[in-house]
Amino acid sequence: MIVSEHIEGYIDSLIPDLPDDLRDLEEWALEHGVPIIRKSMQQYLKLLLTERKPKKILEIGTAIGFSTLFLERFSEADTEITTIEKVEMRLKEARKNLHGHDRIRLIEGDALSVLDNMALNHTERYDFIFLDAAKGQYPEFLKPISKLLEKGGMLVTDNVLLEGTIAESKFSIERRDRTIHKRMREYLYELTHSGEYETAVMPVGDGVAVSVKL
């Protein structure tokens, strides 16, 4: 946990209740052990959507579609959303949950392959990208993302602080987690030092990096 439990609990207590359909889906996810965006991250994402008013959103990592439906609910009525997922057990629920939502396009497949093809074919451009997928692939995602994100567009990357362990030495990290630790550090360094983005990393939820393409 990045901030103390009682502070996080207090912040969460200030957040208004979700609409019934999103609340029900959130409860289902928690009951079934499906990771979804945390309360504080939900509120922060809602604020960004309200301020930015994006017209074309790309989500990398659909899971069961909770965050996708959240993006739809709190974006403009004409905003189009494309979301990518490859895990079949997640897709089974996502197909059901996203059915009938005409503004949402679900692409089934490996995110890196899909992004590379989209970037190669120059078929899509987005003004808002939400990245919440396989953490070990974040550095590889960045190259196609940079081609797909419009100048002035915003990239929001969730879970970048890895429960606070990102600040620890790699030697204090369990061996099985060192690759993700190393790659996340590489990703954050690239975002903050490449000169292509203006980035702020903040302890919201499990850590979020908010980047604007220059």
Beta partners for 197?
213
Amino acid present at 163: E
Distance CA 194, CA 76 (A): 32
For residue range 201-211, list pLDDT tens digits in order.
999 988 999 99
Looking at residue 211, its pLDDT comes to 98
Whether pLDDT at 200 is above 90: yes
Q: Which CATH number characterizes residue 126's domain?
A: 3.40.50.150
Whether pLDDT at 62 is above 70: yes
Q: Which one has a higher pLDDT value, 175 or 139? A: 139
Looking at residue 1, its pLDDT comes to 61
Alpha helices (runs of H) in the chain, residue ranges in sequence order: 5-13, 20-31, 39-52, 66-73, 88-98, 111-121, 138-148, 178-193
Minimum mean pLDDT range among 118-122, 128-132, 140-144, 148-152:
118-122
Whether pLDDT at 170 is above 80: no
The domain of 19 spans 5-213
User: How do strand 208-213 and strand 197-202 relate by DSSP bridges?
Assistant: antiparallel
Looking at residue 179, its pLDDT comes to 84
For residue range 101-130, list pLDDT tens digits in order.
999 999 999 999 999 999 998 778 999 999
pTM recorded for the entire structure: 0.94
Q: How many domains is the chain built from?
A: 1
b/e 44-76 (16+ beta carbons within 10 angstroms → b): bbbebbeebebebbbbbbbbbbbbbbbbbebbe
